Copies of this chain bind each other. A is one copy, B any other.
């Protein structure tokens, strides 16, 4: 009368007339079990709908199949768009994904206790969540490898996967120059963000090679409305500007809307480019020329690093950069065909 709820290995073993050790082995595909018994056990398990309790397994094996994915309340749709992708990739790699959300003003530290309670195999943290050294150190103490997306840590044990933001910005800057643009303004993101920093560095390096500097820095803070407003204010005075290099697609879209509302044609009067590869950037309203982050590869690598088998000896942190890809659409004047 005990087993009224979910079937357990014990139930199957009774039904099959074997020990629960055998049931466990049969379901795990242990080759030491005879074909006949395995078949019988599998059949019975299927009939009663038995699935081994993952919590119990992980308790005894001392390893978890659960990866944490830490997100922040974010304005940038880039990560939102890839949530399915990371869920799919984790599943393919044999892991489950558990979501942790930290508020815009919070810190990774807020969710470390929960992460620890679930004894995560590893965790992936997106750039927009504040990750204090203390939080990172606690993760390490809890034995949870963490990998940061588009962000760097300087402790010895936190890995990072980044789009090669500087290189991508260089490619874009060169494209702009080849297109004949000389007076380039930059629409920048939040200070202190490594994404913002590296993309600016890339742009400025190329400008410098050509004896140029940006004609203006508009501070969009990675926020759509802010980007719209600051761009609109800037354009109102009809400045002598060729192109706006936005540090993110979201801001580029805001800038394009500002131009439209000012009656400025893109790209005839002004080129606008972005970085990221968000969906709306491809819509006819924008047709944004941009550098696409290699999301699939980045996430795949992040999962590998987060789930890296625990080889006793300290696996030193890895930092991997993956190149983005220039996506030419219609928001920037193109180089003359050669």
Chain A positions near chain B (C-beta within 8 angstroms) = 5-6, 49, 51-56, 58-59, 62, 64, 66, 69, 71-74, 77, 80-81, 83-84, 87-88, 91, 96-101, 103, 113-114, 116-119, 138, 141-143, 224, 228, 253-254, 256-258, 260-261, 279-280, 283-286
Which single residue of chain B is at the shortest CB-CB distance from A50? B116
Which single residue of chain B is at the shortest CB-CB distance from A87? B101
Most buried by B among A97, A254, A260, A285: A285
Residues of chain B within 8 A of A84, CB atoms compared: 71-74, 80, 101
Q: Tell me which of B54, B64, B101, B114 contacts A88 (CB under 8 A).
A: B101
26 A–B contact pairs at CB < 8 A?
A6-B142, A6-B143, A49-B138, A49-B141, A51-B116, A54-B118, A55-B56, A55-B58, A55-B118, A55-B119, A69-B99, A71-B84, A72-B84, A74-B84, A87-B99, A87-B100, A88-B103, A91-B100, A91-B101, A96-B118, A97-B98, A99-B99, A253-B285, A257-B283, A257-B284, A285-B285
Q: In the assembly, what is the distance between CA of A185 and CA of B62, in Å? A: 60
Which single residue of chain B is at the shortest CB-CB distance from A284? B257
